[in-house]
Structures are given as structure tokens and as C-alpha cells.
Amino acid sequence: MENPTGSAVKLPRGFYLLGGHKTIYYHNRKNRSKEMMRYLKILVLAIIVIGIFVRPANAVQLSNRNGTAFGTGTNINTSYAIGLEAYSKSAGVYTIADDGTSRGLIQIAFVQNHSAEDTVNLVISSRNAFFNSAGPGYKLGLCDVAANANNVCDPGEIVGFLTPSGATLTNLGITLFQNITAPRTLWLVQWRDNVVADNQYTAGESLLNGTGLFVSPGLNASCDNRPIITVSFSSPHEITSTPFNFAVFTPQFTGTRPGENALTAEVNTDTNLGTFVPGSGPNVYSVTEIQVDSFIDISDVSDTKDMWIAYTSEGNISNIGFNVNSVVGEPNASLYLDGTYCRPSDDSKVFFCLSYAPLVGNHNFFLQVDGYSTNKPTTWTLSNFVNVCVTFPSVVIGVWYGVIFDDVPPDYWAEDYINAIFNVNITTGCSQSPLKYCPEDYVTREQMAVFIVRAVEGEPSQDYCDSGVPFPDVSSDMWSCRYIKRLKELEITTGYSDGTYGPYDEVLREQMAAFLVRVGGEPSLDYCYSGTPFPDVSSDMWSCRYIKRLYELGITTGYQDGTYGPYDLVTRAQMAAFLARAFLEME
């Protein structure tokens, strides 16, 4: 109740009312806050102490047989190696090596003390393999190699053991029977407990310094799929903070590829391209032969096998095989690998070579033409290795060059582009006798249809226009009708706004951009809102989006002065360059 006099009214200890304001002051609040903070500090300290003595600490380190820590994440530099060639997709692979030593040694560096009866666990955390024992009677254990300071596991140094419950295990739960005073490094070993069956390594018993793995067939390790086997550790006192990379799949056999000019030669125009020009390539042996004495060199990179826990011998690998490819058919060429004939495809573009010589070492290659049949300028590549993981990609290993068109000399700026589109049948030239390309002529809209349709899908049938024509100014008896009709069906052209196509009109550079870009789909109408690629191409031009996309695809870089010239006409030489960049990935 209010005090009518306005003076203080005494209340129970700690409370006062100031007349008429009903304001209560808690005069011991400050002291009680200090007391609460003191209790809170004690509680936090207790939690920390409990964590130190009860919860595992992230301290233990796992290392390989050389004492180097296993990597984590993508670091596989210190991991054991499993040879891809030793892996069977139908049977998996066991990693206990055939030389009598299990090389998958794990060194466990303890930082916390452990007591007898503690169980420590090693788990394959990647879940793509299992631990496996060496066979009946073998036990897994932790060996205190420092007990005699000789850095080897001696009899009587086992401090914990596990009797495997089967051939494979997902978890090695090893029970200690001695106290471990940290810091201490123990080795994971296997031994055959058969002299004195006492869970201890005894003189005369077989010891393997390490553990094995079983990698199941479902892992599908391959040249392009190289899984990592990770291992984690835990105990009542410490754990690994992140999985360690115990082993990784990697090729055991590697190869050095042929040089980029291994099969290079000039086909001689004086013999109607039937022979080679002597000295025109580093391996031209005669006018009809190319011989490469060291075509491919295969090496076994496993060396001493020190860090390899699964590998194979050369004799267990089938013979090396691969494809030699030509961009055009070469039916007059015969290819041999180590003296064995390379089997050609029906179109003589792919030659499968299989050697019966020893795998490791140099492999020789021989190519022969008959000397009178015409051979085409082409580009040779190597691909599709079988039986071993030779890791280099499909690569150019030679070019046959020579004058194809009478009007395209060897030093012409667009020669490579013109020859390339000829080799893949995008063009057959502008005349046949003699064979000419007419590089400086302007491209017409009917020629554009031919170029693009051939590049995209090949030749339409001769009767393609019998069922109807695509435009009123394109008759069914025109040689180009089938290409123009197919171009319209592919939605690469809709013709002019008046419904015609204009087959004889010459093509502008902005129109060429639209034709080529539409092969991959239409850019959005606002494609140029974020900027234009050339100063002479404004964002409000109908063709801006096509020209910008053409530039982004690397098909054009414009003129040397930085402009594009959208209204300039396109020459056939320029068109060859655009087509080769767009469809053949040439630069």
C-alpha cells in the first residue's frame, strides 16, 4: 500500500518502496550475479575436465610402413598403391602380396594413455573394401616395436590381438592386454599363432608386417575410376579427426606416347598421291613405308613394390592393344604393330592393333602403302587402349599432307581448314576435273545449306525432295533442294519474310553467324543486353545475339582491327575456317 507521507516503508530484508512510485530495488542483485558467475565458471571447468578424461581426443596419427603420415582429403602421395591391372571386375582383389609379405602396414601413434582391456578400432571408413586375414590360424595384433629399440616386431612384443571371425572384416576391434603409456607407436601386424597358441607372437611363427584388404568386384575400379580406401581409428581415449587415405587404385603400367609427327608424311602429287615424298617425315623409310622403331614404350612403375599392396606380373597381362585412327578412309594402307597386322574397320578409318610381344619395353610400328593407289591427306590419332591403363588421351600422331585442290597452294592461309572439311566430306570442292575449291568465291545460301547439313548429319537421300519442296523458289530438280529442305526441317532456317529462301543470294557474315549458331539452338532475345562483342555490332541489331554467341564459342574472333563486319560477304575460304572451328574443334 502507498505511504501517504512519502517516507520509506520498511519491508522484509532487501526490499524498499519509495513513496507513491511502486519501484522495487533489489539491493543484493550485484552480489548474487557474482555468485552465479562463479558457479558457472566451476561448471565449465568441470565439463572441460570431464572431456579430457572421458571423451576421445582428436590426436592419434596413422602412418604408412615408412613412418610417413597418410594423407587426407585428396592427398594420396603417401598412400599404398593397388594396381588397376591387378583388379578383377568379376572377382575383386586381395592385397596380400604374393612375395610372402603383407605390405599394408599401419603405424598407430598413440598420444593418450590406454589401459589393458581397452578395445581400439580400425575401420574402413570409405566402406568400399574389407580387411582380410592371411588365412586360417592367423591373428591380427598390435606390436610394440619400440620395446627392444630395433624397429622390428620381435617375439613377445604383441600388446593386443584380434582373432578374425572370418576371412574379411569391416572393423578390427583389437583388445589390449597391456597398459600403453603415451606417446607410443604400435604396428598393426598379422602372425600365425601355431607354435604356441597363446595370442602372442612366438619365435618360429610366421609374421606378416601389415594387413590385407579385400576390394569387392562391385567397386569397378578402372582407368577413369580410381577409388581411395580410407581408414579411421577410435578408442575410448582418442580418435582420428578425419579419415586417412590408406590405399588408392593407380595404373601399374604406363606408356610414353608416339611423337605428334610419328606418321607424318607428304603424299606425292607427282604419283597421284600414291607414294610418300622421301624425307617429308621423321620416320618415312621409303616412298611406300613409314617405320617407327620405338612407337610406344611401356614401363612397370611399381619398381620395388615397397608401397604396392596389390600388383601383377607382366606375364599376367594380356598383350597391349589400341586403335590407330584416320579421319578419312585409307584402304590402301597396311599397318603392323610388332610385326602383327592391324585389323582395319570396314571403312578403313580405324585400325585395331594388338601386339604379341612382351608388354614392358618398346613396341615397333610399321605402315605401308601399295605405291600406285591414291591415298588421301589425313590426320592420324591414337586411342582406345585395352588391357593396360596407358593414361595419355587420344592424340595426333601424324599428318599426311599434300595438295588436294589445284587452287589451294600449301602456303595458303586457309589450307588446313579447307583440307580438313574435305577429309570429312563437308565439301567436295567447286569443280572435279581438276579438283578445285574456289576459296575466294563468295558463299551462296544454297552452298551454306550443303555445308551445314553435311557437317551436322551427312548426306540426305537423292530423292529427298520427291515428297515436296521447302520453298517456292527451290524446285525439286535443283541439286541443292535436298539440303535446303533438310536445313528447314532442322529449324536452322525459316527463309526470308516473304516465304522464299533465295538459294543464289550471297551470304553476309551476320547471316552466317545465325546459320551456325542455330545448329546448337537459339540464343535468347535479350542475349546482347549485357554487352556486345564488337564495336560495329549494336545491341539492337537482329543478328547481335548470334554474332555474340559465335564469338563466345570461339568460332570467330573478328577482323584484326577488332570489328566483325556483319554486312561483309563470306568467302569460301572463310567459311572453311568457320566450319572447321565449329564442327572439327580446330583452332
pLDDT digits (tens, 9 = 90+) for 195-230: 988 999 999 999 988 888 999 888 888 888 899 999
Task: Return the amino acid letter for 524.
Answer: S
Residue 150: which pLDDT band, with cuts at 50, 70 and 90? confident
Predicted confidence (pLDDT) at residue 55 exceeds the cutoff of 70: no
Q: What is the reported pTM?
A: 0.60
Confidence (pLDDT) at 43: 61
Predicted confidence (pLDDT) at residue 3 exceeds the cutoff of 60: no
Confidence (pLDDT) at 191: 92
How many residues would you count in the chain?
A: 587
Please report the DSSP string for 146-185 in residue order. Answer: GGTTSSS--TT-EEEEE--SSSEESEEEEEESS-BPSSEE
Confidence (pLDDT) at 554: 95
Residues 261 and 197: their CA atoms lie apart, in Å, by 67
* Alpha-carbon distance values, 14 to 22, 24, 37, 422 (Å): 15, 9, 21, 103
- DSSP, collapsed to helix, strand or coil, labels residue 204 as coil
Residue 271: which pLDDT band, with cuts at 50, 70 and 90? confident
What architecture is the 253-401 domain classified under in CATH?
Answer: Sandwich (2.60)
Q: Which of 221-225, 259-263, 395-399, 525-529 has the highest mean pLDDT?
A: 525-529
Computed over every residue of the chain, the mean pLDDT equals 87
Lowest-confidence pick of 116-130, 367-381, 449-463: 367-381
Closest CA to 326 of 370, 376, 290, 282: 376
Residues 447 and 512: their CA atoms lie apart, in Å, by 11
pLDDT digits (tens, 9 = 90+) for 452-492: 999 999 999 999 999 999 999 999 999 999 999 999 999 99
